[in-house]
Structure 1
């Protein structure tokens, strides 16, 4: 079955009604899907989810759409496919329930039985995200990923097929297994002609296969055809080559078609050689990434996913861990196209809750369905190289949990034996988790009955607080023999052991378990230099994922730069984002990303950064999730003479610092120093330059920061000059307070007002400020350190869109973008 191309987009012209008990009903429409209803809620300091969601409340929402089913569908099988609905959804067609899904990240389909052909039909999706908290981060609400209508004849190709697996790659040829499931929903047995064509990246056919099979009425027949591809172009990080397979079936005078992109590549893991992609040794320079997109909430749109993957790759990352839920199709498409590896993760919980109303309630009944859906989504994506069956699951220290983990791992291999399986375990959590499953469930049930946060909340807070003191106690605790006893049985059932905050155990565990393959599945940026220096000669450790590569909404300000405050894990209202230090929620690259590249050995530096001079006399609050608050700016007007802490990052060598041509500092940099040397310099405007020299005095590189001039300007710049009129494309517009040359002024923050007119609309507008009362739906937002980001969403009509920005003390500025007609290949349905 293929996505229908009859009529206009099925994502358009929905009505969204808020039906949350105790709150006024509100109807929005026409709305285009995806539509994250949580983003449009008013943030509330008293909402039950609190810091978990950045104080965005949940709710109950009814999505509805009226549409006409064409007569030509009368003899077809028609289904509606949802890529992700958060959560506990029910789908109704003309008032009759036809399906739904409790899980918030799982793809599912419902049959549109009962369609009135040639007449108006109404589809409704009722979503209940009112029971809070049900997650440890911002989830979004409602239909936040795309929706499709699938239409096929009675004898048709099952949705999700064909599936391609690389069996072998040898000199000059690749052997592929192509599986197509054929469904006969008719009332007679059928002989089905099935044809496969494989096209190379240029669209030229390189292989074909034909056969005839018989499919009984009411049956689903898996058909696997093996083909050989001559001189295959392998998919890799440097050359992400993609092929296309096209399948056609014919039976009873009717045909069906389906196609899929795939890449030809091999994945192997051994303790002796580590991770091999196409036989080449590869270390994972990983970024853990949540699914939200900052100023546009959880709206899942291809342009946002592609942008994030592109920026991460430009910063040197080569892998993403989808934390802690299955990745979207759009993200995997971007990873396939750009050459980024993926660890796709099933869940954050098994049977024990981490928040009161989370997915642990359905896990026992739902995990096999969710796992099958994740793997079916992933199987054709060459970027996906491993599956994670869980994140920090305390049950893995118990007999029941070990048994369940073994079942999950075995079922994962049953669905896809071609990829390794991991389980991301936190040794400290396993140490303190209750061994008594009945007692743990009883506490959770009592908490739900009382309307309070689940009993596990205190355990999670204890865990995170302990990790917050990581440099002091964690290494001592985590290297104790008891940690091995609490993790080894769970690790024995997976192919790769996922070490969350346990990098200190890599060497000693290799002595205990020499055949174990390990990955740093989650570690803080404060340990990046140490970890990468340590694992360079440990092939059994295949890489490390930093928490996080991209900042996210929720877990209120856990990693935000704060001053003159007491240490605490989460901040009260109005904490909005976590504040992690690689990329912020607007996609702006920060100091930590440059240090990463030096630690990975992919850059020598130097890289200049300056700790905010307006906080020069403040006491920073330490955080294990943030190594520095420095930014790339030498624009601190009004603070002349104040002590500025200048950081110079680089590989081994000597750093020389000069201000306006006058030497002001010289120091040694090495891995031992954290690839960092700091200088204190009285601030004076001008040009700040760092030069890195080798031991022989040869210049390795230099970096310069210049102060902003006296002009106060409002600058807007778009990352691209045009959009497609498909209802999904996005324009990312940087809004900055600068001087006349575009140098950002971080001390001159102020509200900026936007007016937008034309063929696109404002989807979100905001800054990277992690603690703010502002949301993202207003056309007015205050900059943070001189920056904000506006995201425009194209409509369905070509034309132009004009953005006008204004701010106090600045001349208004205009920006005009073109919205081009969507191509004939756009994803449209009735």
Structure 2
């Protein structure tokens, strides 16, 4: 989101062009939409396993030793100790080989120690008032004698924030970004045999900040170990993004970087195979060359294919490139999923995918979740993306940094269009290398359609800013020439020299009153909203109370630089030259508690709250974005004891032609549907049932309802899945809510709940309340406006996972999850 404030000038009253709806539903097949717990009903499907690009990778996530706080060795005084400390392998303190870490706690990574801290009013506001500081990790790795002569590579997916890594007492790597992967070549330091352990020590400085949002602290992504032949394929050393040659003829240029850690030059043979989405071989190519000792060499070839199945959000068909590099030293392999699709940004007609116009219905996403902070398990990440699919999202902007490896693999599989965004705007060598890593690591993913070099930089309207962008664009293009480069601008648009002159797609952050003027002055530059909306909602609250830091969910509140969900999409939908937009944000996130500060500790911007529970924005965006089926929603809920007879605004959001509203079976009214702005009714509240009906051609196609709930009588638990893997990694979100004696959800329940679990553990808790200071770990969490969430993980080898929830005055709730 932005820091500066600009007043929105929305085009009220304008005519909005909307696509034709692709559904036809006879009256007999009318759909009933489930309210309040949208998309939270259990599934019995296991998440697909994410196979690594490199077969044989070893995850070393478990059994790290952790110490919170710094360990400073005694000051050097004497010659001998000073002399030895200056030598390779002479690390002192917690980095020393012989350091005793037996008193440290054992943790598994991904691990975010900040989320476990109590809230501290003196801590940084944007970091969610969570203290961060410094921490240490250590791990022992045993390498077999058979590994001698091989390339040994250790890869950290992400460490927040600055990291120094020692291997056997020598500094092997330093890293200055919490968002880039770190590869450590263990080969020169490695020791072999059970009696020669390898000691990995990591000092993490999380006092440093790269952003103005919650960033977590620690080794918060996966760690892997690769053992490769002496002649092997470099990490991120395969580039195989398809190219369209016209008439549905395609080629896949394949470039493979080989490296040789051996002592002699060695010839290598490269075999490249393309398989379709059914696993059938459809093309093959070869290449060969000699790799010098301690050198690198690129080998290239090309695959060809006619008429492949196209990749799109609706049909995310993936092919697979299999690479085998063979030498006297052995064989190394990679398997790279790719997708065949064309992308094109047009200055007057927006974005085209496979030469079909597609409006980007996007959201901006940070990477944290309630209860676990930035250490988000892969299964939870998949669930979060499915929640975005529920909303009708087809595009995601990585704000404002690269995401975990699993994110891109899931976007490929699930069908999201991705704007991948660089963190630090600076072409200095260290930071340029971070951006180049991002492109090399992600350029084979069909989901990625844009590279973004920055977000809202003060230098964007200057010559220096333009020159910086020129260099960064050139660096991107040297690595990938198939996708355009953009930047998210919130000012400086009309300065004589500005960064829009150096990018290929203009990115507007909130400049809604400048869309038309800028387009008229730059008619050949394609454009998109790179960030919009910044509306405020507290889930389950329908009146604003700024003194209590509560914002209405009736889509009436927005930042002074932003707009409501309805106004912001209207401005985009009515302009065909805009490729689309990216809502700030898909989920709430820790930190940046705009427009408030303490005691508020997380944001209000999300379409979904911090747990993934739906706000009114969920129904608004579904009506705006879903074209293949009828949808409908009502706000507010219908449980308002003590407010009998009070006039209420009722917002019905639907993509139907007309909407009808009933209260206790009696008509309130019927109006033409407005899928952008929704339809507003007024009615006096009375207990009972409110029903909204969507009509097409005079026939009912969809309906939803709220029923007045009585006092809470019992708790219910709804796991997102009824089946999970007992592998110590799979995670399932469990919704906790209260129901009355008739089983109706009680949206105003606020009870403290205590949980017990058998066969697993609770790894995090949340309830979506931006003002809650309850711990993220433990066994207790209060309901907030009727809902709370527990993230559960099964114990390896367990047979069944069972959770019981208790609250004073309510009947216990329980659920079981079958383990496989």
TM bucket, shorter chain: 0.7 to 0.9
Name the structure 2 match of 1:591: 616
Q: Distance in 2 between matches of 1:173 and 1:766?
A: 51
Gaps of 5+ in 1: 352-362, 431-482, 559-568, 612-632, 821-830
Deviation at 1:94, TM superposition (A): 2.2
Tell me, yes or no, if structure 1 residue 151 matches structure 2 residue 227: yes
Q: In the alignment, is the contact (CA less than 8 A) between 1:160 and 1:377 conserved in 2? A: yes
Name the structure 2 match of 1:435: none
Deviation at 1:182, TM superposition (A): 0.8
Deviation at 1:523, TM superposition (A): 0.8
Q: Distance in 2 between matches of 1:234 and 1:606?
A: 28
Deviation at 1:675, TM superposition (A): 2.5
Matches within 5 A, 1:13-92: 13-20=63-70, 29-47=105-123, 49=124, 51-92=125-166
Name the structure 1 match of 2:775: 775
Name the structure 1 match of 2:596: 570
Deviation at 1:697, TM superposition (A): 5.8
1:34-70 CA distance string (max 9 Å, x none):
11111112221111x1x20111111111111122112
Q: Which SS does the other structure have where 1:484 is aligned?
A: coil
- Which one of 340, 353, 356 corresponds to residue 264 of structure 1? 340
Tell me, yes or no, if structure 1 residue 414 matches structure 2 residue 509: no
Q: In the alignment, is the contact (CA less than 8 A) between 2:420 and 2:451 conserved in 1? A: yes
Q: In the alignment, is the contact (CA less than 8 A) between 1:379 and 1:416 conserved in 2? A: yes
TM-score (norm. length: structure 2): 0.82
Q: In the alignment, is the contact (CA less than 8 A) between 2:716 and 2:814 conserved in 1? A: no
Name the structure 1 match of 2:32: none
For the structure 1 residues 91 and 581, does the alpha-carbon distance in structure 2 shift closer, same or farther, using more than 3 Å as the test? closer
**Larger displacement relative to structure 2 (661-670 or 405-414):** 661-670
1:740-787 CA distance string (max 9 Å, x none):
5543212221111111222x3211011000111113112101111110
For the structure 1 residues 815 and 530, does the alpha-carbon distance in structure 2 shift closer, same or farther, using more than 3 Å as the test? closer
For the structure 1 residues 739 and 197, does the alpha-carbon distance in structure 2 shift closer, same or farther, using more than 3 Å as the test? same
Q: Distance in 2 between matches of 1:368 and 1:404?
A: 10
Name the structure 1 match of 2:719: 718
Matches within 5 A, 1:62-211: 62-112=136-186, 113-118=188-193, 119-131=196-208, 134-211=210-287
1:524-554 CA distance string (max 9 Å, x none):
1534434444444543310011111111111
Q: In the alignment, is the contact (CA less than 8 A) between 1:169 and 1:266 conserved in 2? A: no
Deviation at 1:711, TM superposition (A): 5.4
TM-score (norm. length: structure 1): 0.81
For the structure 1 residues 740 and 725, does the alpha-carbon distance in structure 2 shift closer, same or farther, using more than 3 Å as the test? same
Q: Distance in 2 between matches of 1:395 and 1:164?
A: 35
Deviation at 1:205, TM superposition (A): 1.8
Matches within 5 A, 1:276-425: 276-347=352-423, 349-350=424-425, 364-425=428-489
Q: Matched residue pairs, number?
A: 710
Q: In the alignment, is the contact (CA less than 8 A) between 2:393 and 2:625 conserved in 1? A: no
1:491-510 CA distance string (max 9 Å, x none):
11111000001122222222
Q: In the alignment, is the contact (CA less than 8 A) between 1:180 and 1:223 conserved in 2? A: yes
Deviation at 1:320, TM superposition (A): 0.3
Q: Distance in 1 between matches of 2:238 and 2:263?
A: 24
Name the structure 2 match of 1:815: 815
Q: In the alignment, is the contact (CA less than 8 A) between 1:767 and 1:783 conserved in 2? A: yes
Deviation at 1:331, TM superposition (A): 1.0
Q: Distance in 2 between matches of 1:741 and 1:345?
A: 49
Name the structure 1 match of 2:316: 240
Tell me, yes or no, if structure 1 residue 490 matches structure 2 residue 493: no
Q: In the alignment, is the contact (CA less than 8 A) between 1:425 and 1:500 conserved in 2? A: yes
Deviation at 1:804, TM superposition (A): 1.7
Tell me, yes or no, if structure 1 residue 542 matches structure 2 residue 579: yes
Q: Distance in 1 between matches of 2:245 and 2:714?
A: 57
Q: Distance in 2 between matches of 1:666 and 1:69?
A: 73
Name the structure 1 match of 2:739: 738
Name the structure 2 match of 1:681: 684
Q: In the alignment, is the contact (CA less than 8 A) between 1:529 and 1:671 conserved in 2? A: no
1:712-759 CA distance string (max 9 Å, x none):
11000111122223332111111111225543212221111111222x
Q: Distance in 1 between matches of 2:248 and 2:506?
A: 34
Q: In the alignment, is the contact (CA less than 8 A) between 1:289 and 1:550 conserved in 2? A: yes
Q: Distance in 2 between matches of 1:4 and 1:701?
A: 47
More contact order relative to length (CA 8 Å, sep ≥ 6): 2
Deviation at 1:306, TM superposition (A): 1.1
Q: Distance in 2 between matches of 1:225 and 1:660?
A: 70
Name the structure 1 match of 2:651: 647
Q: Distance in 1 between matches of 2:502 and 2:751?
A: 55
Q: In the alignment, is the contact (CA less than 8 A) between 2:630 and 2:655 conserved in 1? A: yes
Q: In the alignment, is the contact (CA less than 8 A) between 2:229 and 2:331 conserved in 1? A: yes
Q: Distance in 1 between matches of 2:721 and 2:701?
A: 34
1:471-521 CA distance string (max 9 Å, x none):
xxxxxxxxxxxx5237x6311111100000112222222211110111101
Name the structure 2 match of 1:455: none
Q: Which SS does the other structure have where 1:663 is aligned?
A: strand
Name the structure 2 match of 1:660: 664
Kindly report the root-mean-square deviation, in angstroms, between the aligned alpha carbons of the 2 structures.
Answer: 2.5
Tell me, yes or no, if structure 1 residue 517 matches structure 2 residue 529: no
Name the structure 2 match of 1:691: 693
Deviation at 1:153, TM superposition (A): 1.4
Q: Which SS does the other structure have where 2:725 is aligned?
A: strand
Q: In the alignment, is the contact (CA less than 8 A) between 1:669 and 1:677 conserved in 2? A: no
For the structure 1 residues 586 and 256, does the alpha-carbon distance in structure 2 shift closer, same or farther, using more than 3 Å as the test? same
1:425-473 CA distance string (max 9 Å, x none):
102xx4xxxxxxxxxxxxxxxxxxxxxxxxxxxxxxxxxxxxxxxxxxx
For the structure 1 residues 70 and 599, does the alpha-carbon distance in structure 2 shift closer, same or farther, using more than 3 Å as the test? same
Name the structure 2 match of 1:10: 60
Q: Distance in 1 between matches of 2:570 and 2:293?
A: 61
Q: Which SS does the other structure have where 1:504 is aligned?
A: helix
**Larger displacement relative to structure 2 (25-34 or 257-266):** 25-34
For the structure 1 residues 317 and 124, does the alpha-carbon distance in structure 2 shift closer, same or farther, using more than 3 Å as the test? same
